[in-house]
Structure 1
Amino acid sequence: MKKIVFVCLGNICRSPMAEFVMKSLTDDYEIESRATSSWEHGNPIHKGTQAIFKNHGVDYDSSKTSLQISKRDFEYFDYILGMDESNVSDLRQMCPQSLKHKIHPFAAESVPDPWYTGDFEETYDRVLTGCRDWLARLENEINDGKY
Structure 2
Amino acid sequence: MKKIMFICLGNICRSPMAEYVLRDMAAKRGIVLEVASAGTSGWHDGEYMHCGTADILDGLNIDSRDFISSKVTRDDWQYYDYLIVMDNQNLVDMEKQFGKSRKLFKITDLLPENSPYDHVPDPWYTGNFVETREIIQQCCNELLIQIQRGIL
Q: TM-score, normalised by structure 2?
A: 0.87
C-alpha root-mean-square deviation of aligned residues, in Å?
1.4
The percentage of aligned residue pairs carrying the same residue is: 38
- Name the residue aligned to 1:141: 150
- Name the residue aligned to 1:81: 84
- Name the residue aligned to 2:40: 36
The amino acid that maps onto 1:88 is L
The alignment of Structure 1 onto Structure 2 pairs a total of residues equal to 140
Q: For 1:43-65, what per-residue CA distance to the aligned partner results, in whole angstroms no more than 9, with x for missing partners?
A: 111100000011122232x1311
Distance 2:130 2:20 in 1: 15
- Name the residue aligned to 1:49: 53
- Name the residue aligned to 1:71: 74
1:25 aligns to 2:58 (yes or no): no
- Name the residue aligned to 2:114: none
- Name the residue aligned to 1:59: 63
Question: Tell me, which stretches of 5 or more residues in structure 1 are unaligned?
Answer: none
Q: For 1:65-119, what per-residue CA distance to the aligned partner results, in whole angstroms no more than 9, with x for missing partners?
A: 1110000000000010001111111111111x4x733101111320000000000
Distance 1:127 1:86 in 2: 17
Distance 1:140 1:113 in 2: 30
Moved over 3 A (4+): none
SS of 1:26's equivalent in the other structure is helix
Q: TM-score, normalised by structure 1?
A: 0.90
The amino acid that maps onto 1:110 is H
- Residue 125 of structure 1, aligned match among 134, 138, 144: 134
On the 8 A contact 1:24/1:59 being kept in 2, the answer is: no
Distance 2:121 2:52 in 1: 14
Distance 2:131 2:102 in 1: 29
Distance 1:126 1:49 in 2: 13
Distance 2:21 2:92 in 1: 24
- Name the residue aligned to 1:103: 104
- Name the residue aligned to 1:5: 5
